[in-house]
Amino acid sequence: MVDCMAKQATTRSPPQIAAEYPPTELKKKISPEKHLECAAQYAYIPGNRYTNLFPFLKRNPWFYRVRDAKPKSFYRNITRLRTRHGRTNSRIHLFDPLTLPDCPRCPEDAETMAHIISECSQYEADRNDLLSSIPRDVTSPFNLDTLIAEEKLEVYECIDDFLDKIERSL
Ligand SMILES: [Zn+2]
């Protein structure tokens, strides 16, 4: 019986869908005002930072320009700096509410990568070494994002040395 019904089903023509839709229903036009509203709403999503820092898609990843062998932590630290996915309290707090986002040394500030590298009072002396070791041809004034965006290997090495000195990995 079942075999018979299955056989009949294969010979039957597929059911016709009666409903009709005008093409305008499928692709609605967005008014320029609405488009601007959406652009403003999504201008600050975290992923936009990366495309702002590195607007041009490159054929090879950044680490293809590294000539000497480096420890794995170098590639990890710099990649996390570039993508802002470091293991800092403010980031861990996003998926573990029990971890407070604050810096253990400066409770009024969130512990972000920018805080660790360019603000935290705990690492003042090592930061001075970092600032003096940054090559002179870097565009000035700079902050962490502009340093990262220049994609200079010497700068990446200086920042990684700083992280080694303060015994932090990202
Ligand atoms: Zn701090």
Band (pLDDT 50/70/90 cuts) for residue 80 is very high
Break the chain into its structural domains and give their ranges.
48-165
pLDDT in tens, 32-60: 888 788 777 766 666 678 888 888 888 88
Question: What is the Å distance from ligand 1's center to 104 Cα?
Answer: 7
Q: What is the pLDDT of residue 46?
A: 62
Q: What is the pLDDT of residue 44?
A: 64
Residue 111 has pLDDT above 90, yes or no: yes
Question: What is the Å distance from ligand 1's center to 99 Cα?
Answer: 15
Question: What is the Å distance from ligand 1's center to 141 Cα?
Answer: 22
Question: What is the Å distance from ligand 1's center to 151 Cα?
Answer: 26
Question: What is the Å distance from ligand 1's center to 44 Cα?
Answer: 25
Please tell me the pTM assigned to this model. 0.70
Measured between alpha carbons, how far is 109 from 163 in angstroms, rounded to an integer? 19
DSSP, collapsed to helix, strand or coil, labels residue 102 as strand
CA separation, residue 44 to residues 41, 50, 169 (Å): 7, 11, 27
| Mean pLDDT of the chain, nearest integer | 86
pLDDT in tens, 132-150: 998 888 888 888 888 999 8
